Amino acid sequence: MTPTPVGMRCPECSKQRTKVTAGTGASSAAAGAPATFVLIVLNAAAFLAEIAGGSGGLSGTGSPLIGDFGLRGVSVADGEWYRLVTGGFLHAGLFHIGFNMFALFILGRLLEPAIGTPRFVALYFASLFAGSFGALALTDPLQVTVGASGAVFGLFGAAFVIARGRGLNTIASQLGFLLLINLALTFGIRGISVGGHLGGLAGGLICAMFILAGERGLMGPQRQRLPAELLGMAAVAVFSITGALNVV
């Protein structure tokens, strides 16, 4: 089990005495980042459903689930707003889901213990909605977009900002380097949703600013801090949903 860097622990957790117990790597990791593992399971289950309903093989592109639940502008315009969420849990192939889930596993185990599960879940879905907004804004309304990349880019951006904000410059530099590589791939490879990646990144950066503002006492008294941060991230999600519904 890879330990979480002390500086990345949530402020509430860092004030508590740590109780050390023995356990397996998988169970310990799941206990430290439960939402991360739930999200991975949900994405994996959706991909298995795609394969089961598709034309065979390890690709979901032939599955009717892509057409029925993938993010597509004309369908959202017809009232199928649920695609803003469901599109983020579908993937086009084994490499697609493998890359996204690996990134979610790494970033989730770093971020979730560092900011707490409620903030992590709010950050993930705010980034997902922001990614959907970006995808619809920059994609042909007849084209289908799928994948958790928008949410993952949001986690990348948030992890970078929070690490910098907590003075973890080495971790921030590593995250920044990886983020630049992924942005280069976003613009350099055809078929990648530029809008989805940039939208999710923007959402994650803004959410991270709310989290840091709370840590620095700018979101009110201690007991109001978490609700205020969650309200700020909810505002990002609402803005993204409203924007997505107005660009189609």
pLDDT digits (tens, 9 = 90+) for 153-185: 999 999 999 999 999 999 999 999 999 999 999
The pLDDT of residue 1 is 32
Active site residue 197: yes
Q: Any bridge partners for residue 145, and if so which?
A: 71
- Whether residue 163 lies inside any domain: the answer is yes
CATH of the domain at 56: 1.20.1540.10
* Contact residues for 137 (Cβ-Cβ < 8 A; gap 6+): 195, 199, 243, 244, 247
Characterise 57 by phi-psi region: left (phi > 0), alpha (psi -120 to 50), beta (else): left
Enumerate residues 6+ apart whose C-beta is below 8 A from 184. Answer: none
Q: Flag whether 2 is in a domain.
A: no
Residues of the chain short of pLDDT 50, as ranges, are 1-7, 16-22
Q: What is the pLDDT of residue 223?
A: 85
Assess contact for 71 and 84: CB atoms under 8 A: yes
pLDDT number for residue 190: 87
Give the residue among 207, 240, 245 at the shortest CA–CA distance from 121.
Answer: 207
The position carrying tokens 């649920």 is 82
Among residues 91, 132, 197, 240, the one annotated as catalytic is: 197
Domain residues for 179?
32-247
Q: Is residue 97 part of a domain?
A: yes
Determine, yes or no, domain membership for 7.
no
- Whether 69 maps to a domain, the answer reads yes
Residue 213 belongs to some domain of the structure:
yes
- Among the listed residues 149, 173, 193, 240, the single catalytic one is 149
149 included as an active-site residue: yes
Say what the pLDDT of residue 2 is: 36
Per the structure, how many domains does the chain have?
1
pLDDT digits 0-9 by tens, 111-144 = 999 999 999 999 999 999 999 999 999 999 999 9
Q: Tell me, what amino acid is at 33? A: A
